[in-house]
């Protein structure tokens, strides 16, 4: 197996990172968890299985990342 084939098999075609960060109640920036992100992530994971998307599609939970956070003014 070539290096490129090996690398190709290790990667996903689609990789979704779903922020489920949870901040304290009343935090001015709220949090994804308070807006139903955990339920959304679980739903996407189930739908992926129902649709038989296989291992090339991965739905991950993640906490907020400054690199991908949408709730910060840039
Ligand atoms: S709390 Fe999830 S992206 Fe900001």
For residue 47, report the distance from its CA to the centre of ligand 1, in Å: 23
The predicted-structure confidence for 15-39, as pLDDT tens digits, reads as follows: 999 999 998 988 888 899 999 999 9
Ligand 1 pocket: which of 23, 32, 40, 73 to mutate (most atoms within 8 A of CB) = 32
Query: For residue 6, is it within any domain?
Result: no
Q: Which residue has the higher pLDDT, 4 or 52?
A: 52
- Evaluate whether residue 69 is within a structural domain: no
Q: How many domains does the chain fold into?
A: 1
pTM: 0.71
Measuring CA to CA, how many Å separate 28 from each of 18, 24, 32, 33, 36? 21, 10, 13, 14, 17
- Domain residues for 25? 12-62
Q: Evaluate whether residue 26 is within a structural domain.
A: yes
Alpha carbon distance 51, 25 (integer Å):
36
- Does residue 73 form part of some domain? no
CA of 24 to the centre of ligand 1 (A): 13
Residue 49 in domain: yes
Question: Would residue 71 count as lying in a domain?
Answer: no
Q: What is the pLDDT of residue 74?
A: 44
Tell me which residue has its CA closest to atom 3 in ligand 1: 69
């Amino acid at each position: 197996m070539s290096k490129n084939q090996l690398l190709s098999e290790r990667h996903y075609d689609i990789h979704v990172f779903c922020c489920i960060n949870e901040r304290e109640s009343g935090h001015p920036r709220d949090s994804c968890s308070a807006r139903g992100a955990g339920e959304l992530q679980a739903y996407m994971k189930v739908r992926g299985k129902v649709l038989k998307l296989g291992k090339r599609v991965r739905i991950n939970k993640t906490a907020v990342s400054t690199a991908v956070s949408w709730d910060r003014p840039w």
